[in-house]
Amino acid sequence: MKSEQIVLASRPHGLPSSENFRVEKKDLGPLNDNEVLLKSWYISVDPYMRGRMSNAKSYAQPFQVDQPIVGSVVAKVIESRSKTFIEGDIVSGSLPWATYCIEKAENLRKVDTQAAPPSYSLGILGMPGLTAYFGMMDIGKPKAVETVVISGAAGAVGMVAGQIAKMQGSYVVGIAGSDEKCKILKEQFGFDEAINYKTAKIMTKIIAAACPKGVDVYYDNVGGEITDAVIDNLNFHSRIVLCGQISLYNNTEVPMGPRLFPKLLTRSILVQGFIVSNYSDRFGEAFAHLTQWVNEGTLKYTETIIHGFDKLPDAFLGLFSGKNQGKMLIETD
């Protein structure tokens, strides 16, 4: 069996480009016991993968140059020498960016195709959904009378986090990068207000106008100047859910910004960074809630699906210019 795979050709300096990736052909050998042959179906591109392309110390191991990029994939079992899976099963796992691969059964989870479309296990019923759930419910803890602001609001995590805050009765304001995204957040996802940060002249004032009672919970997906502007509007005893900093991921130097710790101190603000895997022992609880809310229609969801395995690098790069609404995925067929 021949497979195509995409390897990291070189480590990016600043914003990655297609030059940092290379498509290669690979011969897959025969299956050993407890292994399955997989055909990739949906492949996820995620902002955290940028961190793994550098060799800086982090919570996830760096990708190796000339080795395949690895990420979340939904795949079909084509052949099995495992007692756990049979041909035709749909599984998910941390797998190479490859058209086909061989994997040990113990590293795979079966996807329940009756519960939801299989691609959802890479988004709302996968890592991004779990991230939104724990960040909002365990750290943000919004109350009905409170105002919640979410940056990166039209991405995979942000749009779920905003809806979960709405379910608590809060007043929810999203920040996103186009008028179209802002319209969708309000009309389809129930946000009370949405701010286009690309056309907003003075973000601090625009956030103040959108949040007349100040901000009680800030779910931060982007960092940088947007976050500086939200911090100006935070109330006493407010909470910052420090989830992501995508606006800084391609920086080659640590940027000098306003030093905001005095504001955090004098307003008794809680800042809590987290990685979703911190909550791995509670994934079952979150998964059950998210599945129920999706099936009831309480949680709405959207995906940007790009067709063609060879489009993976472009899809990944598109995350940094806001090409996605909701979860960005590749469908290989």
Cα–Cα distances in angstroms (integers) from residue 123 to residues 72, 203, 321, in the given order: 10, 29, 19
At 114, list the tokens: 């009756």
Report the residue from 20, 221, 227, 233 that binds ligand NDP according to the rule CB under 6 A: 221
Instruction: Decide: helix, strand or coil at residue 86.
Output: coil
Cβ closer to ligand NDP: 68 or 155?
155
Report the residue from 6, 12, 40, 46 that binds ligand NDP according to the rule CB under 6 A: 46
Closest residue to ligand NDP using C-beta atoms = 244
β-strands 215-220, 234-242: how paired?
Answer: parallel
Helices marked H in 233-321: 261-266, 283-296, 312-318
Minimum Å gap between C-beta 180 and ligand NDP is: 9
Cα–Cα distances in angstroms (integers) from residue 82 to residues 2, 90, 94, 128, 181, in the given order: 21, 14, 18, 29, 44
Cβ closer to ligand NDP: 47 or 71?
47
320 binds ligand NDP (CB under 6 A): yes
Q: What is the dihedral of CA 120, 125, 127, 132, to 10 degrees?
A: 120
328 binds ligand NDP (CB under 6 A): yes
Cα–Cα distances in angstroms (integers) from residue 89 to residues 70, 83, 85, 105, 107, in the given order: 21, 12, 6, 12, 14
324 binds ligand NDP (CB under 6 A): yes
Measured CA to CA, the distance from residue 138 to residue 270 in angstroms comes to 13
Minimum Å gap between C-beta 45 and ligand NDP is: 7
**Which of the ranges 18-26, 45-53, 78-86, 256-264 carries the binding residues for ligand NDP, by CB under 6 A?**
45-53
Minimum Å gap between C-beta 168 and ligand NDP is: 20
Residue 5 and residue 97 in contact, taking contact as beta carbons nearer than 8 Å:
yes
Measured CA to CA, the distance from residue 8 to residue 70 in angstroms comes to 10
Residue whose structure tokens are 């007349």:
212
For ligand NDP, the binding residues in 123-162 under the rule CB under 6 A are 127-128, 131, 152, 154-158
Minimum Å gap between C-beta 211 and ligand NDP is: 18
Cβ closer to ligand NDP: 85 or 97?
97
**Which of the ranges 4-12, 14-22, 31-39, 173-181 carries the binding residues for ligand NDP, by CB under 6 A?**
173-181
Cβ closer to ligand NDP: 4 or 225?
225
Residue 239 and residue 141 in contact, taking contact as beta carbons nearer than 8 Å:
yes
For ligand NDP, the binding residues in 223-282 under the rule CB under 6 A are 226, 243-247, 274-276
Residue count (the chain) = 333
* 44: number of Cβ within 10 Å: 26
Minimum Å gap between C-beta 13 and ligand NDP is: 17
Minimum Å gap between C-beta 221 and ligand NDP is: 4
Number of chain residues interacting with ligand NDP (CB under 6 A): 33
> Binding residues for ligand NDP, per CB under 6 A?
46-48, 127-128, 131, 152, 154-158, 176-178, 181, 221-222, 226, 243-247, 274-276, 319-320, 322, 324, 327-328
